[in-house]
Structure 1
Amino acid sequence: MNLTVSYRGQLYPLSLLPDDTLAVLHARLEELTSTPPQLQKLLYKGKSNKPLNDQITLIQAGLRDGVKIQMLGTTTNELDGIKAVESDQQKRERIMRERTLKGPTKLRSTGSSSSSSDNLNYRFHKLIPLSHLPNPSSAMDLLQRLSDDQAIRHVMQKHKFAVGVLTELAPHEHPELLGLNENAGQQIKLRLRTDRYDGFRTYKEVRRVLCHELTHNVWGDHDNNFKELNSLLNREVTDYDASVKAGTNVLGYSGEAYEPSEAQSRSQVLGGGSNAVSLLNDSTEDRRRRALEAAERRLRQEEEEMENSCGTAGRSAVVE
């Protein structure tokens, strides 16, 4: 009996005997995809809606030669990442309950101890490139760079974001998506590669999508609450990068609006055109205002494009 199983854009041809049991099929799929049998969900034409005993034969389960099967499921590595987040959450809840029972306590600063706790909790617990795609080591390098990014770490710790698994989206699986946040941070998927798999998208583009998906840890829909937090995260990342270059410490976003430099203001009028002379005669304040308006328009356009390419809002973000 020849079967074809589709899982995350990859096709797995199988050859089994009609009197083999479902347990045999599940075991073969675990070998191929690292998805445990209890987490495998098989969809195919003619399948009964009732739960099937894994000791019945393939024929009894309604499978026939040439049938195509769609498989859903979570791999062992992804499950470990999800469990890590859940374990951290349960640990924090237990500590808070114990503190409540003990009553008020005198707080004292411990410096590195608090920082160490934040580093352990508010981070990406697992990084998983897609091994079936070309050059997974380069994908892993990009995921690692995002995980080690000090600006990203800064906003994750400040806003207490924990992510179980950071992985990638295959272009052929969801060609319309750039990012997806499942279960408010249990797993974030990012489009790392170009459509033709001949390279990777720029780091700046991928990091902006990551900030967008991190916002979905708090807000599911692209409403005003989402837009405000997403804008704040992007400003905090930009401020952190700027402070590192300037050699100053970051204590958090100051709330001040972005103001372009004199050089950036002048760059808006270079290239000539009928209005070039009048623009050059404008005041520095006018040039800065136009540069700021142009930057804001560009950011709004980028956010609109990103919202249209985000798979989290407008659909169920909870994966069963």
Structure 2
Amino acid sequence: MLFFTVSHRGHAYSLELPASTTLTALHAQLEELTSVPPSMQKLLWKGKKAANDDTTLQQAGFKDGMKIQMLGSTPDEVSGIKAVEDERAKRDRIMHERTLKPQAKLRSTGSSSSSALQYRFHNVAPLLHLPEPDSAQAMLDKLANDPAILHVMQKHKFSVGLLTELAPHEQPGLLGLNENAGQKIKLRIRTNRYDGFRLYSEIRRVLCHELTHNVWGDHDENFKELNSKLNREVTEFERARATGTHYLTSSADPHGIYQPASELEAQAYVLGGSSQSTPVVGESREAMRRRVLEATMNRLRKEEEELELSCGTGKDVSTSNPDGPSTS
């Protein structure tokens, strides 16, 4: 009798078999233990000798007490990976076909098909070891194909190699991370308990923050100005689409001069317009507008401060605050 251990994906299986047992019989027993079919099993051990399926364990070099490593995937795992790859190939084919068709231009200058192909997210992929990878893929695809996000990417010539997600349990202190100025952007899209996904508007705001890191690494005044500008342009783009506007020039900034107050005021209108505010007795309409605007501006500043704290760009992410999310 031979006593030996077979390890597969962190699990160790202790076996006791006669030395005359064939490798075929061993593979069959390992299939019962791991659900990996014999054709997909690969065994590695010290002193391995050339063998075929009829070779006995003794002839193959098995010895008492030896440790064997097994590699291999189950049919369900293989089919799952193939399904994801097929879906990604289908999506890439559809996106490629769309780029070959004439597109309606939302601006007078328009964006050429070459810029649309260049300034975008070139790859989108979830973390397959996390729950519901298909739902995560759908969320990332929605972000990658968001018309307002693509608008600012083409306008500012942003290109991102890979858009993927952050695992809450692996990097609990981060909401976002930009690696190598756009080579890879990671976003926290899931709730801490993995029971759903965070609000789309919040994730997209983090994405704007991370896109700003394509240009500026530190959270200095240059970064804050561009980040605020991207958020304003997203707001203006969506307002233009909603009203059917084709020329997206800002009435508050007709000459292209950046004005932070205008951006904040635009967001104040969208996020908490005076029509949705409860008036104070005796308060004039103008006073109420100023009060709502000030409250919204304070909220936006606080959100930006929280985003900076939860940003992993330029930080050692291994030392991120474990008690709360951060971004980069």
Normalising by the smaller structure, the TM-score range is 0.5 to 0.7
- Deviations 1:65-91 (Å, cap 9, x if unpaired)? xxxxxxxxxxxx9xxxxxxxxxxxxxx
Letter in 1 for 2:248: L
The residue aligned with 1:196 is 193
Q: Secondary structure at the match of 2:161?
A: strand
Q: TM-score, normalised by structure 1?
A: 0.61
Residue 124 in structure 1 maps to residue 121 in structure 2? yes
Q: Secondary structure at the match of 1:180?
A: strand
Q: Secondary structure at the match of 1:157?
A: helix
- The alpha carbon displacement at 1:250 in A equals 4.3
Q: Secondary structure at the match of 2:240?
A: helix
User: Is contact 1:240–1:250 with CA below 8 Å preserved after alignment?
Assistant: no
> 1:178-197 to 2 correspondence within 5 Å?
178-197=175-194
Match 2:273 to one of 260, 264, 271: 264
Residue 172 in structure 1 maps to residue 148 in structure 2? no
User: Is contact 1:123–1:153 with CA below 8 Å preserved after alignment?
Assistant: yes
> 1:296-315 to 2 correspondence within 5 Å?
296-315=297-316
- The alpha carbon displacement at 1:140 in A equals 0.6
CA distance, structure 2, for counterparts of residue 293 and residue 177 of structure 1:
29
**Root-mean-square deviation (Å):** 3.3
Identify if the C-alpha distance between structure 1 residues 14 and 289 changes in structure 2 by more than 3 Å, giving closer, same or farther: same
The residue aligned with 2:294 is 293
Q: Percent identity?
A: 56
- Deviations 1:91-139 (Å, cap 9, x if unpaired)? xxxxxxxxxxxxxxxxxxxx88x61011010000000111111110011
Q: Secondary structure at the match of 1:173?
A: coil
Match 1:140 to one of 137, 152, 159: 137
Letter in 2 for 1:299: L
Match 2:226 to one of 223, 226, 229: 229
Identify if the C-alpha distance between structure 1 residues 244 and 136 changes in structure 2 by more than 3 Å, giving closer, same or farther: same
CA distance, structure 2, for counterparts of residue 225 and residue 246 of structure 1:
32
Match 1:211 to one of 208, 213, 217: 208
User: Is contact 1:2–1:13 with CA below 8 Å preserved after alignment?
Assistant: no
CA distance, structure 1, for counterparts of residue 159 and residue 11 of structure 2:
38
> 1:12-51 to 2 correspondence within 5 Å?
12-13=9-10, 17=45
User: Is contact 1:222–1:313 with CA below 8 Å preserved after alignment?
Assistant: no
Match 2:154 to one of 153, 157, 163: 157
CA distance, structure 2, for counterparts of residue 176 and residue 151 of structure 1:
28
- The alpha carbon displacement at 1:282 in A equals 2.6
Identify if the C-alpha distance between structure 1 residues 143 and 250 changes in structure 2 by more than 3 Å, giving closer, same or farther: farther
User: Is contact 1:130–1:168 with CA below 8 Å preserved after alignment?
Assistant: yes
Q: Secondary structure at the match of 1:167?
A: strand
CA distance, structure 2, for counterparts of residue 150 and residue 213 of structure 1:
17
- The alpha carbon displacement at 1:252 in A equals 4.7
- The alpha carbon displacement at 1:161 in A equals 0.1
- The alpha carbon displacement at 1:233 in A equals 0.3
Residue 241 in structure 1 maps to residue 245 in structure 2? no
Identify if the C-alpha distance between structure 1 residues 216 and 193 changes in structure 2 by more than 3 Å, giving closer, same or farther: same
Identify if the C-alpha distance between structure 1 residues 261 and 299 changes in structure 2 by more than 3 Å, giving closer, same or farther: closer
CA distance, structure 2, for counterparts of residue 301 and residue 140 of structure 1:
30
CA distance, structure 2, for counterparts of residue 2 and residue 128 of structure 1:
36
Letter in 2 for 1:308: L
Aligned positions, number: 219
Q: TM-score, normalised by structure 2?
A: 0.59
Letter in 2 for 1:203: Y
- The alpha carbon displacement at 1:289 in A equals 1.3
